[in-house]
Chains A and B, each alone.
Chain A
Amino acid sequence: MIKTLNILGKPSRNKLSLFVPIGFSLFALAIIDVILSSFFEINITSILPRWLNFFTPILFGFVGLHYIRIEFSGNRILDKLNKNINSNWFNAILTLIIIFVLIKNIPPLLNWLLIDADFVGTSKEECSREGACWIFINVWIKRLMYGLYPNAEIWRINLSFLMLIGLVISAFFVPIKIKKYIIIFLLFVFPFIAINLISGGNFGLEWVETTAWGGLSLTFIISIFALLFCFPIGMFLALGRRSSAPVIRYSSIGFIEFWRGVPLITVLFMASVMMPMFLPDGTYMDKLVRVIIAITLFEAAYMAEVIRGGLQALPRGQYDAGKSLGMGYWRMHLLVILPQALKLVIPGIANTFLALVKDTPLILVVGLLELVGMIDMAKSNPDWLGFATEGYIFAGIVFWIICYSMSRYSQFLERKYKTDR
């Protein structure tokens, strides 16, 4: 089949000026054909029978790409093009299909997302319904970010998160001596300040029930607290799993494998319906607290496996060196082993945190509404029916930005610590 294409002779370097213009014009013809037929409903090849008509762009493009597939043409751009998208006939067809699919889909998508979309307004009627109706997001944005938190008190959530961001950023830039104190403050003091600030009830702040918490801020509250608590538990479990004492080892293994073997959704059910049964009669524990405890236990098992990876990656010599200095178990681990092991698994910890953030939308099954839950609520509001797509796309973009930047950061850390050793 390929040979019959060579009516003009095999494409070669000698006839560059013949083949390249023909090839490129055929390729351009193919693209123009697709553009015309998909956006202007003009079919330039309508004289051909229907079954052939459909494939004409592929045929044109295929022949065109065949003609410009000249090895060592001497032209750098052409060589690069051939190497990257046109190395053989199979690649040429794949290239054509991808280009056509992109041409057909990207402009309508952009149209819907941006050009035809409505951004400003306050009600559903202001949407033309030709494109996306971002007014929906605009109107609901406070609910999506802060849940049912009273509007007048939102500054408290903002202040907590601004403090957190400020502290984290300052930790990066101050000298190591002060950095230590900032980190201790962040880990042991700040959580209490933040929780007091957000829940209120003292210092003249109005008490806000946890049922009113929600939106994206709840996602962060849950994941940050779960990460904070699951870290020490995970560390103990990891050490326990490597302990030589059988009872400790097997109970750690049992704990870790149990939580890793069950889905988060059942853990959440456990927290919401089973846990109250296990508490002493008459005590009440807030649902959010129960959920955080459950997620903490769940994530601790994963964290333990990550930390265990770091412990296993350390060479035996480190243990021997620690022991030969006369260090006991705890001193050896605290001063020699764990600092090195934890440094090794920082990317792993970042990935666990990423998974945790991605898992938090699940809390909607027990009635806590973070971003996805709030969108679920907003889209079933009688005034705003029919905007599910916009809502989910918005939430998708928000989560994507958060998760993508975190995964890039963890990849950066991975590279950074790889060169260290």
Chain B
Amino acid sequence: MDIKNTTKGFTNFFSGSSTFGKYFPQILTVFFIIFIFGYFTYNAQVNMDNRGIDFGLRFLGEEASFDIQFSLIEYSGASSYARAYLVGVLNTILVAVIGIFFATILGVVIGISRLSSNYLIAKVAEWYIEIFRNIPLLLQLFFWYFAALRALPLPKEAINFFDTAYLSVKGLYIPKFVWTNFDIFFYSIIASIVAIIFVFKYAKNQQEQTGRRIPSFFISFGIIVLLPLLTFLIGGVSLSFEYPVLTQLSKTIFNYIGGVAIIPELMALALALSLYTATFIAECVRAGIMGVTKGQKEAAASIGLTPGQVLRLVVMPQALRIIIPPTTNQYLNLTKNSSLAAAIAYPDLVLVFAGTAMMQTGRAIEIVSITMLTYLSLSIAISIFMNWYNKKIAIKEK
């Protein structure tokens, strides 16, 4: 009797090595899932019937009639719920992008500092990581919002950055860019990026074929500066700034008018998210750089590369392969953590949609599902992009 027969049957649940064992658990799983979903749907149906609400997304077209403090697109109380949803999504994306940008810069700097030969720097970086990583993010957010940013001066005595930007308890006011013919300028930037890609390709080709090195960095620097500059001289592009001005709103209330206002909620959120996530990114960077074997650096140095070249041409390309997958995870975490915004009333998706809109419409199932699906698709989008990039830089073994 062979072994297969003795282990046949229910003991083979999951394993799928016999026909019965192959199909029975799967059918059971399907029934289980159908049962759960069916049971929940039935209950939801009964509950909604009892409360006299119907299921549907028609409410998205109705007038939202609430205000949102901070919006990237036109929005007023007369706009629809769908529009409010869009405002929330854009605000979430905005804070995620800002957070990812600063967290990456800070994380890379801290990660490299942790490996510094300078004892003080390495220790400071280590303690930064240990402190910020082990305190709950929500607590850090509250600290920045309720304690640190509330301690800023009133608009009248705002911290002044060269008379252009003002930091006060009402937020950071920076000059607004006023463009004429912005599209020409924008196209010139795109054109110069395309040109730079060609320059780099050409330089690489030349070096591979003739061994001649072309200073592609300086050439591309020239292109990205000169081409947009030309549009100012002959393309009719001009740029002026609209500065924030201190204005008296009432007898005792002053605030800045004009310019771009960065509300304290956004500042606190960006600060907390980037300081917190940077610690994790720093650890990824450190692991990546340490993952490159010493022999690689020594080999590179022995063929006469300068320390800068060793880092740029040998260590970084190899370290990046180790760094990118865990860092992607951190980006995803940051995006999901940006939902903490709701706790300090930054109008992100959760606050606007799962908070205010749900209170008004009472459509718990639809709204919570839409919110969750939105985050799910944001996460999936980031992970697909990073997987693509990861595949692109992976070692191509022949």
B29 touches A326 (CB 8 A): no
Docked Cα-Cα span, A331 to B15, in Å, equals 12
Closest to B379 in A: A261
A326 touches B7 (CB 8 A): yes
B40 touches A278 (CB 8 A): yes
Binds B, one of A6-14, A15-23, A110-118, A391-399: A391-399
Chain B residues near A258 (CB-CB < 8 A): 376
Q: Does A42 contact B (CB under 8 A)?
A: no
* CB closest chain-A residue, reference B3: A326
Is A400 an interface residue when CB atoms closer than 8 A count as contact?
yes
Contact with A along B1-32 (1 / 0, CB 8 A): 00100110001111110000010011001100
Contact B11 A243 (CB under 8 A): no
Q: Is the CB of B136 within 8 A of A361?
A: yes
Question: Do A277 and B139 have beta carbons less than 8 Å apart?
Answer: no
- With an 8 A cutoff between CB atoms, is A91 at the interface? yes
Partner of B117, one of A91, A263, A274, A365: A91
Taken together as a complex, chains A and B put the C-alpha atoms of A84 and B122 apart, in Å, by 10
Beta-carbon contact of B375 and A277 below 8 Å = no
Q: Which residues of A contact B372 (CB under 8 A)?
A: 262, 266-267, 270
In the complex, residue of chain B having the shortest beta-carbon distance to the beta carbon of A86: B118
Give the residues in chain A near B35, CB-CB below 8 Å: none
Q: Which of B328-378 contact A (CB under 8 A)?
A: 336-340, 342-343, 350, 354, 358, 364-365, 368-369, 371-372, 375-376
CA distance A281 to B49 in the complex (A): 10
Q: Which one, B139, B336, B368, contacts A399 given CB within 8 A?
A: B139
In contact, B134 and A399 (Cβ under 8 angstroms): yes
What per-residue 1/0 map shows which CB atoms of B287-330 lie under 8 Å from chain A?
00000000000000000000000000000000000000000000
- If A87-B118, A362-B340 touch, whether A247 touches B29 (CB-CB below 8 Å) is yes
Q: Are B365 and A277 in contact (CB under 8 A)?
A: yes
Query: CB distance A84 to B118 under 8 Å?
Result: yes
Name B364's contact: one of A98, A251, A274, A393 (CB within 8 Å): A274
Q: Is A234 an interface residue (CB 8 A)?
A: no
B376 touches A262 (CB 8 A): yes
Which residues in A have their C-beta under 8 angstroms from that of B354?
A: 266, 269
Closest to A363 in B: B138
CB contact list, A341-399 vs B, under 8 A: 358-362, 364-365, 372, 376, 379, 388-389, 392-393, 395-396, 399
In the assembled complex, how far is the CB of residue B181 from the closest CB belonging to chain A, in whole angstroms? 40
**Cβ-defined contact, A262 with B121, below 8 A:** no
Tell me, rounded to whole Å, the shortest Cβ–Cβ distance linking A214 to chain B: 15
Q: Are A279 and B3 in contact (CB under 8 A)?
A: no
Q: Contact: B120 with A99, CB < 8 Å?
A: yes
- Nearest-neighbor residue (CB-CB) of A90 within chain B: B118
Q: Are B119 and A85 in contact (CB under 8 A)?
A: yes
Q: Which residues of B contact A328 (CB under 8 A)?
A: 7, 11-12, 15
B380 in contact (CB, < 8 A): yes
Please indicate the chain B residues that have their CB under 8 angstroms from the CB of A240 in the complex: 14
Binds A, one of B142-150, B158-166, B259-267: B142-150
B155 → chain A, closest Cβ, in Å?
20
- Asked if B337 and A278 make an inter-chain contact with CB atoms under 8 angstroms apart, the answer reads no
Q: Is the CB of A274 within 8 A of B368?
A: yes
Say yes or no for A160: interface residue by CB 8 A criterion. Answer: no
Indicate if the CB atoms of A396 and B376 lie closer than 8 Å.
no
- Verify if A404 is at the interface (C-beta below 8 Å from B): yes
Identify which of B6, B13, B338 contacts A326 (C-beta below 8 A): B6
From A87, A246, A269, A395, contact of B139 by CB (8 A): A395
Contacts of A267 in B (CB 8 A): 372
CA distance A209 to B150 in the complex (A): 36
Task: Name the interface residues of A230-275: CB closer than 8 Å to any CB of B.
Answer: 239-240, 243-248, 251, 258, 260-267, 269-270, 273-274
Residues of B within 8 A of A263 (CB): 336-339, 350, 375
List the B side residues contacting A266 at CB < 8 Å: 339, 350, 354, 368, 371-372, 375
Contact status B43-A281, CB under 8 Å: yes
**Interface hits, B28-82 → A, CB 8 Å:** 29-30, 33, 40, 43-44, 46-48, 50
User: B26 contacts A265, CB within 8 Å?
Assistant: no
Q: Is the CB of A245 within 8 A of B339?
A: no
Question: Looking at the complex, which one of A269, A329, A360 makes contact with B12 (CB distance below 8 Å)?
Answer: A329
Contact yes or no, A358 B121, CB < 8 A: no
- Chain B, residue nearest A360 (CB): B136
23 residue pairs bridging A and B, Cβ less than 8 Å apart: A83-B117, A84-B119, A95-B120, A243-B14, A245-B25, A246-B26, A260-B379, A261-B375, A262-B375, A265-B342, A266-B350, A269-B350, A269-B368, A273-B368, A274-B365, A274-B369, A277-B47, A277-B365, A278-B40, A328-B7, A362-B138, A372-B139, A396-B143
Q: Which residues of B pack against A, CB within 8 Å?
A: 3, 6-7, 11-16, 22, 25-26, 29-30, 33, 40, 43-44, 46-48, 50, 116-121, 124, 130-131, 133-140, 142-143, 146-147, 150-151, 336-340, 342-343, 350, 354, 358, 364-365, 368-369, 371-372, 375-376, 379-380
Residues of A within 8 A of B (CB): 83-85, 87, 91, 94-95, 98-99, 239-240, 243-248, 251, 258, 260-267, 269-270, 273-274, 276-281, 323-324, 326-331, 358-362, 364-365, 372, 376, 379, 388-389, 392-393, 395-396, 399-400, 403-404, 407
Beyond A266-B371, A279-B43, A329-B14: 9 further Cβ-contacts under 8 Å?
A240-B14, A243-B14, A261-B379, A262-B336, A277-B48, A277-B364, A326-B6, A360-B136, A400-B135
